């Protein structure tokens, strides 16, 4: 039986001292933590600042999960794909949306995505009152009861660990096809692999805020095995339908983050609106977040815009001929116009618009 447990409590002064000694060299901050999630899962939310040091998580679990590797000569390793950034208007204009299936194959892909969403709701311990209107599951963001911060983090971790797979599989297959068939790829590979990289940055950011326990880690390993192999097979059979499926997955991601932003705005996630809560440095650097725009809400706004981008890109790629058409998002146009901006095209561009 899966359940969500959230049991915040204060540390004793002795525990707090041990805690800060244990993590100070790594994090230079103190922690705000609690255990939650599917049975056996521990989530620890870390918080900078020196005014709080409390947790129910055992001290041995409070550590930087992947500290920067110090070497004799290397100062830092910047991202291979620097983030292209968004205007504030672009981030605010993102809305949950759904592209209705137009073929039997798309309908099957959409139904399968509904099943995956049900599985994620179940696994993250979502109660009936926390769910949205069943008739509009990808666009409705109103629920009777909010999720807790721990539930959101579990959801983000599952989602991001899965979302990083398809771009890499598609990019890898197109790369192999190009060198096997001695043909140009026309710019798809870089966008697909960059998408995977971007999804992994989402995951790493959330991993800096929490650490899953053995149950979730096992689930992620199994899910990746199944998902990678299925994507591999399906991309060989139908790249168009696979991109459509990924478009549906990204619709769910935009929905998830929009709902989270709404609950932050309504003051239902107090741990994240606490002025002492600081987002991880890895996120500030990757998105080049300006001073004064580094709240959890700002971070989720950036991530949601990324998901909207993936949604528009995958729906568009699904509309193209994968064998011949160039990738419009990295192309120069004869008219001198800018390449299309996928974040604000939830249903993607039709082929005639971009070719």
Binding site for Fe ion (CB under 5 A): 160, 163, 199, 202, 250, 253, 307, 310
Q: Which is nearer to Fe ion, 141 or 305 (CB)?
A: 305
- Token pair, residue 171, equals 């990019």
Give the separation between CA 155 and CA 37, rounded to whole angstroms: 10
Q: Which is nearer to Fe ion, 154 or 163 (CB)?
A: 163
Of 346, 276, 342, the residue nearest 30 (C-alpha):
276
Task: Tell the smallest beta-carbon distance from residue 63 to Fe ion (Å).
Answer: 25
Task: Tell the smallest beta-carbon distance from residue 306 to Fe ion (Å).
Answer: 6
The secondary structure of the chain in percent helix, strand, coil, rounded to multiples of 5, reads: 55, 0, 45
Torsion of CA 192, 198, 203, 204, to 10 degrees: 130
Q: Which is nearer to Fe ion, 206 or 349 (CB)?
A: 206
Torsion of CA 158, 203, 281, 46, to 10 degrees: 20
Task: Tell the smallest beta-carbon distance from residue 69 to Fe ion (Å).
Answer: 25
Which residues 6+ apart lie within 8 Å of 56 measured at CB? Answer: 7, 8, 9, 33, 34, 35
Task: Tell the smallest beta-carbon distance from residue 309 to Fe ion (Å).
Answer: 8
Task: Tell the smallest beta-carbon distance from residue 202 to Fe ion (Å).
Answer: 4
Q: Which is nearer to Fe ion, 132 or 201 (CB)?
A: 201
Give the separation between CA 288 and CA 296, rounded to whole angstroms: 14
Q: Which is nearer to Fe ion, 194 or 250 (CB)?
A: 250
């Amino acid at each position: 039986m899966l359940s969500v447990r959230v049991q915040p409590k204060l540390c004793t002064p002795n525990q707090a001292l041990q805690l800060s000694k244990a993590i100070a060299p790594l994090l230079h901050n103190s922690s705000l933590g609690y255990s939650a999630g599917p049975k056996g899962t521990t989530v620890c939310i870390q918080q900078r600042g020196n005014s709080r040091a409390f947790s129910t998580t055992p001290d041995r679990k409070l550590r930087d999960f992947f500290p920067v590797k110090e070497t004799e000569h290397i100062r830092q390793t910047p991202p291979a794909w620097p983030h292209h950034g968004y205007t504030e208007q672009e981030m605010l204009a993102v809305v949950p949306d759904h592209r209705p299936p137009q073929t039997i194959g798309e309908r099957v892909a959409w139904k399968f995505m509904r099943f995956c969403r049900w599985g994620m709701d179940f696994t993250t311990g979502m109660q009936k009152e926390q769910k949205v209107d069943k008739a509009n599951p990808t666009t409705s963001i109103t629920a009777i009861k909010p999720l807790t911060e721990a539930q959101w983090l579990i959801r983000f971790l599952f989602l991001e660990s899965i979302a990083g797979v398809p771009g890499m599989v598609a990019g890898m297959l197109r790369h192999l096809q190009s060198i096997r068939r001695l043909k140009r790829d026309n710019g798809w590979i870089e966008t697909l692999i960059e998408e995977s990289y971007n999804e992994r940055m989402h995951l790493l950011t959330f991993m800096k805020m929490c650490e899953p326990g053995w149950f979730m880690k096992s689930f992620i390993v199994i899910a990746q095995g199944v998902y990678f192999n299925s994507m591999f097979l399906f991309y060989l059979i139908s790249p168009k339908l696979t991109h459509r499926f990924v478009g549906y997955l990204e619709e769910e991601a935009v929905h998830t983050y929009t709902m989270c932003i709404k609950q932050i705005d309504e003051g239902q996630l107090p741990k994240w609106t606490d002025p002492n809560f600081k987002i991880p440095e890895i996120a500030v650097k990757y998105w080049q977040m300006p001073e004064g725009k580094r709240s959890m809400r700002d971070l989720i706004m950036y991530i949601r815009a990324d998901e909207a981008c993936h949604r528009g890109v995958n729906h568009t790629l699904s509309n193209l001929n994968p064998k011949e058409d160039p990738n419009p998002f990295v192309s120069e146009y004869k008219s001198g116009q800018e390449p299309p901006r996928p974040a604000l095209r939830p249903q993607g561009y039709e082929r005639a618009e971009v070719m």
